[in-house]
Amino acid sequence: MEHIMTENKPLTATTQTRNALISGITKRQDNFDYTMTELGELAKAAGYAVVADVRQKADFPTGATYFGKGKVEEIREAAVLHEADVIIVNDELSPSQLRNLEKQIKRRVVDRTQLILDIFGTRARSKQAKMQVEIAQLRYALPRLRNQSAGFDQQGGGSTGGGGAALANRGSGETQLEMDKRILTKRISHIKHELIEEEQSEQTRSSQRTASDIPTVALVGYTNAGKSTTMNGLLSLYADRPEDKQVFEKNMLFATLDTSVRRIELPGNRQFLLSDTVGFVGKLPTKLVDSFKATLAEAKNADLLIHVVDFADQHYPEMMQVTEKTLRDIGIAEDVPVIEAYNKADLRGDATAFPEVNGNQLVYSARDDASLQQLAAMIEERIFADQVTATYLIPFTDGAAVNYINSVAKVDQTDYNETGTLITATMSKAQAVKVQQYIVEE
């Protein structure tokens, strides 16, 4: 079964750049041009050079071949002319559309779903992310398995798409196809099982966190918006421990696939946990969203979301819509408060002033300290909103309560009298409940 796994190898390291033709149907999408630009970016992220672009103006795809007859021929000719090895299509194709197109164009066809799965496959680093991506890839490949060769090279490109050809022939009794399907199905349930075990240990970790009463804040948003850069900026100003590592940030799509959680400590012992999450993109395959639900659990359980937006990209409104829709699909409660954080203000040509706050919106740059301080102040205002300030008289016999207050609260004053320690402190209601029997003044 190992040979199925090899599909996860980085494309660029093992294969030279392949030429791709990108293609799509306008349908009735307002933002069609943008989705094509993005398809080109996704292709580059997967290691392709985009050499041609063919579009069809139509309201609906043609059933059997997705594109109309004339357009299929045009794509075939353009592929020959521009020496494209691979045809990339802007939608998810049905298994038969994919097969028919490959037969007629005599090139490997990759749909948008496959492309995104490929990128995720090359970016996944942690065990959990790798398993999540592999499940999504296998679920995509299963209905697309087929008997040998459509008469062209199906290998390479790092995809599971032509999986049928990649499996060894074990012969006898079962057909090759049945055998391949059985192997894939078995592998899917095997990884699912492992993943559940992994997630359970993960859940224990995050429930331990909740138990510690520390509020959690999650950075969410479109890929490349600047979530990781924002996390790193906040870390460099407010890291609780110097050894807290910076997360990976890069100008590429899907730089982050794993959720990282770091502890931030604002002045006055105001701690919270900040998590950086996987970015979203238009038409993110539902299978992939499903598999990443566990990773995104951090966002789901958050007390506050920071929706990071690339304000320097003219398509930011569409990106915000996609993000909001994806969050709904994941089942993130609509009542979780959100800060809309319009990032990269420094890159806007129109001399946008920043940092600037307007209600729950912040225009800022993740590379600017004043901006990050402003963001921290907004976070503080929201997650520590239900704080109570009180004076506690703690008998000398309960040193643990004193330690607890010192570790979670913002302590305003400490005094001693003959019966115990008098502390005036501010902390969340949830924390205050634990020492409420000692309250002498509110």
Ligand X SMILES: Nc1nc2c(ncn2[C@@H]2O[C@H](COP(=O)(O)OP(=O)(O)OP(=O)(O)O)[C@@H](O)[C@H]2O)c(=O)[nH]1
List contacts with Mg ion (CB under 5 A): 228, 255-256
Instruction: Tell the smallest beta-carbon distance from residue 256 to ligand X (Å).
Output: 3
Instruction: Tell the smallest beta-carbon distance from residue 376 to ligand X (Å).
Output: 15
Residues 256-285 binding ligand X (CB under 6 A) are 256, 279
- The answer to whether 367 is annotated as binding is yes
User: What is the residue whose two structure tokens read 């590592």?
Assistant: 245
326 touches ligand X by CB under 6 A: no
Residues 402-441 binding ligand X (CB under 6 A) are none
Binding mask 188-227 for ligand X (x = CB under 6 A): ---------------------------------x-xxxxx
Number of chain residues interacting with ligand X (CB under 6 A): 24
Binds 172: which of ligand X, Mg ion, none (CB < 5-8 Å by kind): none
- The answer to whether 100 is annotated as binding is no
Distance from C-alpha of 150 to C-alpha of 104, rounded to nearest angstrom: 10
> Candidates 47-55, 107-115, 243-251, 399-407 — which segment interacts with ligand X by CB under 6 A?
243-251
Binds 250: which of ligand X, Mg ion, none (CB < 5-8 Å by kind): ligand X
Close Cβ partners of 380 (under 8 Å, ≥ 6 residues apart): 266, 270
- The answer to whether 223 is annotated as binding is yes
Binds 137: which of ligand X, Mg ion, none (CB < 5-8 Å by kind): none
Instruction: Tell the smallest beta-carbon distance from residue 235 to ligand X (Å).
Output: 12
250 touches ligand X by CB under 6 A: yes
Residues 55-114 binding ligand X (CB under 6 A) are none
Residue 83 neighbours by CB distance under 10 Å = 10
Binds 90: which of Mg ion, ligand X, none (CB < 5-8 Å by kind): none
- The answer to whether 34 is annotated as binding is no
Q: What angle do CA 292, 158, 118 make, to 5 degrees?
A: 25
Tokens for 130?
A: 């790798």
Among 16, 201, 251, 413, binds ligand X (CB under 6 A): 251
- The answer to whether 279 is annotated as binding is yes
- The answer to whether 182 is annotated as binding is no
Instruction: Tell the smallest beta-carbon distance from residue 206 to ligand X (Å).
Output: 21
Phi then psi for 407, rounded to 5 degrees? -85, -30
366 touches ligand X by CB under 6 A: yes
- The answer to whether 419 is annotated as binding is no
Among 228, 260, 295, 301, binds ligand X (CB under 6 A): 228
- The answer to whether 366 is annotated as binding is yes
In terms of CB distance, is 121 or 161 closer to Mg ion?
121
Among 5, 347, 385, 430, binds ligand X (CB under 6 A): 347
Burial class of residue 44 in the structure, from the number of CB atoms within 10 Å of its CB (0-12 exposed, 13-18 middle, 19+ buried): middle
Among 346, 356, 380, 398, binds ligand X (CB under 6 A): 346
> Candidates 91-99, 183-191, 195-203, 362-370 — which segment interacts with ligand X by CB under 6 A?
362-370
- The answer to whether 229 is annotated as binding is no
Tokens for 229?
A: 């850069």
Distance from C-alpha of 364 to C-alpha of 375, rounded to nearest angstrom: 8
Instruction: Tell the smallest beta-carbon distance from residue 230 to ligand X (Å).
Output: 7
| Residue 273, beta-bridge partner list | 216, 263
In terms of CB distance, is 256 or 259 closer to Mg ion?
256
Residue in 230, 189, 423, 183 with CA at minimum distance from that of residue 341: 230
Binds 187: which of Mg ion, ligand X, none (CB < 5-8 Å by kind): none
- The answer to whether 227 is annotated as binding is yes
Instruction: Tell the smallest beta-carbon distance from residue 311 to ligand X (Å).
Output: 9
Instruction: Tell the smallest beta-carbon distance from residue 250 to ligand X (Å).
Output: 5
Point out the annotated binding site for Mg(2+): 228, 256
Point out the annotated binding site for GTP: 221-228, 254-258, 276-279, 343-346, 365-367
List residues near ligand X by CB under 6 A.
221, 223-229, 249-251, 253-256, 279, 308, 343-344, 346-347, 365-367
